[in-house]
Amino acid sequence: MEFSTQSLIRFGNNDQVPTVSMKARAKINLSLDITEKRPDGYHNIKTIMQTIDLHDNLVIDAIGEGIELECNSSKVPCDDRNIAYKAAKLFLNKYSCKYGIKHGVKIKIEKNIPVAAGLAGGSSDAASVLIGMNKLFDCGISVDELMAVGKLLGADVPYCIKGGTILAEGIGDILTELPAIPKVYIVLAIPKIHVSTKWVYENFDFNKVNKRPNIDLLISAIAEGDIKLLAENMVNVMETFTADRFSIINKLKKKLISLGALGSLMSGSGPAVFGIFADKTSADMAYQEMKCDDCHEDYHLFVTETT
């Protein structure tokens, strides 16, 4: 997670508080397995997640009091339904007395990550708010503590605070850092459809899964820097249901492979589909080809890279 201190705001008694800007990066799942349904109704998973350069831009300013939120997307609520707002409220409630925080915050979100696409855009915004407010008010809270706080907001938030190449287990909150994969280029195609994560989990049938990811093989491929082996063995068990209902997902996967992707997969519960390319030239060529496709109006398209 990147930030920069842009300016200083003066309050009473010569108090000075910085304005902080953040890049809230998206993630993709390089493989995803659902291992069991828990007694509490949640599911245990085993997944390898990777940060990519596609990001929202956040600016967090200190204000006199309260929480204000602005966003350039009409699809994003700007009140306490927004997870970034919830993150700010949680931070202030938990740390205002402890660290003598006397101000509120105004959060501006420039939304570039598509909403509800399986890319953890909302979770990344929330993670950025926690990190940014920690910097804004000079609290010095450790990453581990911020991750524990982030877990209260959602299972993906701790990962978004940490970032990089990570094995996530449990409900997605048990994180093991893996070696960073060599930089690869990603073409993202996001169908203009709505996929409910709740629906996918509620309809998940372990008996209908015919292929599961070999996570140990993928971890070995990552350790050896073997992107081809990694890309060719990516599996997301959620595709069993999402792709059956929405045929465009498999169409996009096949299209990306035909254009030179080393491997292609749906991210998370979808509907985002990505292809891994070994170099920027091939990724750019695939991106341009898909932009000219007769069906290109059915999906959003991005070219990015791992970070």
Catalytic residues: 27, 156
DSSP state of 14: G
Report residue 72: phi and psi, to 5°: -80, -5
Q: What token pair was written down for 51?
A: 């940060």
Q: Which helix (H) or strand (E) holds 82?
A: none
Separation CA 290–CA 287 (nearest Å)? 5
Of 297, 253, 293, nearest to 271 (Cα)? 253
Instruction: Please list the alpha-helical segments (H only) found in the chain.
Output: 83-99, 121-136, 143-151, 157-162, 197-202, 215-224, 227-232, 239-245, 248-258, 280-291
Q: In this structure, what DSSP letter does residue 153 have?
A: T
Q: Is 207 exposed, middle or buried (0-12, 13-18, 19+ CB in 10 A)?
A: exposed
- Is it true that the peptide bond before 271 is cis, omega within 30 degrees of 0? yes
- Between the CA of residue 170 and those of 46, 77, 144, 303, what are the distances in Å? 7, 29, 17, 31
Q: Give the whole-angstrom CA distance, residue 236 versus residue 102.
A: 46
